[in-house]
Structure 1
């Protein structure tokens, strides 16, 4: 068994697609209309056949309070591995990304946390 699709709830699918592809560097994989929303996934350009990230609309009544609680407590919605957290931190800051946690050595990983502009905190990590 392996992870096929995982997701993050987003407040605007197009804004999320623009951020996740244009800023973070993911590649669009599927964009299929489903009623008033889209089955919208992105993948890493390093692994185009790998796990897909679903940019899922956050319209369900339970999602808003859930997202707000995570952000209020500083808990990332998900985590992405990068080759060098400090380098990626500098690259993303130069693109205007807002970080809530600067790079921090945490024993087995170096990590940082940023706001994805769609209502989530996202963690980036580099294993030690």
Structure 2
């Protein structure tokens, strides 16, 4: 039986720029950075949680043709084909203020929801990110 999700994936057209955002602005740590010839296996995780990583995958060979990769990059940049990541925090207002001060593109300010307070942002490529302070946290 399956026991957990260990790696999830999002497309990022520029892995070095993705590192700057996910590590430099959001506080992730690099868990793997390996060169496999036609591809770079680059994963990041929140500190203390290396068993739940995000693969920052550049669209292209060997998983898809260069023509398809160009279409994927165009769709991501429009915000229509990017991934979605959901994170929890202890204090949505403080986290929102810290990310805004770091220059992160906030797409939705904190909103009270039935489950807690959450807000939205995008990475430099158009991937959607939601951060929530869950009720009872």
- 1:54-73 mapped onto 2 (5 Å cutoff): 54-59=55-60, 60=64, 61=68, 63-64=72-73, 67=76, 71=79
Counterpart CA distance in 2 for 1:72 and 1:53 is: 19
What's the CA shift for 1:11?
1.4
Number of aligned residue pairs: give it. 125
SS of residue paired to 2:23 = helix
Aligned partners of 1:97 and 1:114 also within 8 Å: yes
Q: Which runs of 4+ in 1 moved over 6 A?
A: none
What's the CA shift for 1:38?
0.9
Structure 2 unaligned spans of 5+: none
Counterpart CA distance in 2 for 1:6 and 1:81 is: 16
1:28-64 CA distance string (max 9 Å, x none): 010001224310001111323x201110113442634
- Identify which of structures 1 and 2 has the higher relative contact order when contacts are C-alpha pairs closer than 8 Å and 6+ apart: 1
What's the CA shift for 1:94?
0.4
Higher-Rg structure is: 2
Task: Give me the TM-score of the superposition, normalised by structure 1.
Answer: 0.85
Counterpart CA distance in 2 for 1:121 and 1:67 is: 10
Counterpart CA distance in 1 for 2:85 and 2:75 is: 14
SS of residue paired to 1:2 = coil
Q: Is 1:121 aligned to 2:128, yes or no? A: yes
Counterpart CA distance in 2 for 1:39 and 1:3 is: 18
Aligned partners of 1:104 and 1:110 also within 8 Å: yes
